[in-house]
Structure 1
Amino acid sequence: MTLIGAGIVAIDDRICRPGWVQTSGRQIVACGPGPPPRPADVNVPDAVVVPGFVDMHVHGGAGAFYHDDPAAIARAAAFHLRHGTTTTMASLLTASRQNLLATVRTLAEATRQGVVAGIHLEGPWLSPAHCGAHDRGQLRDPEPDEIDTVLTTGDGAIRMVTLAPERPGCAAAIKRFRDAGVVVAVGHTDATYEQTRRAISAGATVGTHVFNAMRPLHQREPGPALALLQEEQVTVEIIADGVHVHPALMRAVIDAAGPARVAVITDATAAAGLGDGSFRWGALPIDVVSGVARVHGTATIAGSTSTMDQLFRAAVGLGDGSDAALAAAVRMTATTPARALGLDNLGRLHPGFDANLVVLDRDLQVRAVMANGEWRVQPGS
């Protein structure tokens, strides 16, 4: 049993100054405002304790992709864990059917071992008009036999899939995935406003990195972004690095949807943590310059080099410095993505929830990370 006392603790939707959290085994057993009920095992009066970050859209880090071998998967997950991501949804790029199934099989085993929390299929059922860094030659319509084979191979590990709803067969695909308990997202799409609304009515509940890789807003054709923002049951992802979406637009999205519907994601690639240089993302050469990844020789942004702690600081910075702004950042980096994925025991500091938490210093830099009740970055290390 571990009792943690801190100067600031984000308990549910409250910012407690001070506060405390008590864990036992893999779970939080108690928490509350004020001084801890007994001398704390870990006392950090100058620190902030928040729930472990939940990244529902991330492709890799530290030179490794989640479509690589088991050792690379573990290396990428460990890198992001050091930055406070205690729950990782491993996102896959568009690939051939054979390669897709092979990667799903490998990641399903990594999910069973607890290395990642599940799989996000970002393709191959996307729009060629907004494919970004995906392999255009491997894009295809969602055929029922491929969907069934992917679901069988995933054996329950597939938690989310991104579709372009204008592709033939997508309505049936949404129903098939929903029936299997998979969250369906709209993204990499040239769908109209009406097509997007129909996809939401069919069961889509997430907008993949809203505004990026989708038909833009137009005064006579609002496109998918407005449809996603209007629907209360839809969670919208946003890459809050200040590059993918202008900070003013990020504020507008948060004002429109509220922190309970906005999930901050990294969309990080293997280049995260490595600095500038040349890399590959699947078949595509990628150049990272000043921390921004682009497809070689183009202006097309290819994922990000961000980590969740960096984006947490950015999310706090979008606010006014108040406790409400800090609470909103907590929701967008933990509570909201966990809820969107149906991970009911994650994303909050609350009795009965998994003991996943991050200890941050006054500058919101990571000082310690606990995952499933174990210190993965030790306090004071």
Structure 2
Amino acid sequence: MTVVEPLPVRPPETAVEILARAQALAPVLRERAEEIERARRLPADVVDLLRGTGVFRMGFSRAHGGPELTSIEQTEVIEALAYGDAGAAWCAMIGSDTGLYASFLDHAVAEEMFPSLDMATAGLLFPNGRAEIVPGGYRLTGRWQFGSGVTHADWVVSGAFLYRDGEPVHDSILLMVPKADVEVLDTWHTTGLAGSGSCDYTITDVFVPAEHTLTFAEVRGGTGPLAQPEVHMRNMPGVALGVARAALDHATDAAVSAGREDDYRTQTTIADCEGDFAAAREGVYGALRRQHEVLSAGGSLDDLTPRERAALPLSRRHAFRTARAIVTRLYDLVQTTAIYRPSPLDRWLRDTTTMCQHIVAQDRILQTAGAHLLGGRPAFPLALGITSSRR
């Protein structure tokens, strides 16, 4: 078993430190991947190890005392963790949204809600719940799916439709509640990403103060590149890219160990997959770099050309789809060795298949980007950072 030096007690302060800690943790996550998958959630000590890397704090702005990693740097961190285990990286990606949500809360409220920058958030943003408007806030009830990391989260954010006196208001909102107010249901029996613990959860008649709610249409406590409506989607492809890189390295090492350096099929498959990976990865980081250039210069998402803006969700989708295709081809290349559960290729095949069912990897993204390019109506405008003002 790999011996891991205890992570330094001092919290990391820079992107370089957080990335280095994530890279150091990756071999440990790989070694424990089977255990994580069997548990169908992250063991408590693995959560602590992730917390020690600084991944949960990386989205907090400097105004909150955080390291304020760019979306490019955040994606690199998630990619490094996914090289070890997809489920752990998925939870890290979701949990790191805490600091990003802080920009959509009043600054003082965020300071009170998040006394530690290493607090993790989970939850489903789609409005599956019901929020009854009451004096001072809302009473929230509902059941949500896909609560990735909800078993270890500190806060849970959930989407809900608004009601007043029992009648729908035809609007929705996001509401944050402490994990103690949430009941987790053991529903996460899935093809892949088992370790993410993305269970259903319920909230029943919980009062949520108005100041603990948010909407991506209203930035209340932040400015700059991270205070944007679609910021929580940007680092997602890091999971897919990290898994694809791990699978390529594994297949390459296996081929060399088996003496297949001069086998034509092995050569062409590895080379073709490397080409696909390089193109997909550059697509993601190229789109993020251009976005950061515009936003860090004081511009807005509207200052991107239609192609530049569409490139963001398209590159995310392409990364997920390409990762699945790469793993599938490598699985075929390795042949019967890959079918046994101790093989990481088996787990990566199931993980990439499962993550490709997420909305960011679905055809709805193609329609959204295509509509934007053609001047039509996007089905999922938030993927482009487009919101409508609250009514």
Task: Mark yes or no: TM-score above 0.5.
Answer: no
Q: Which has the higher contact order (CA 8 A, sep 6+)?
A: 1
Which has the larger strand fraction? 1
TM-score (norm 1): 0.26
Which has the larger helix fraction? 2
Higher radius of gyration, 1 or 2: 2
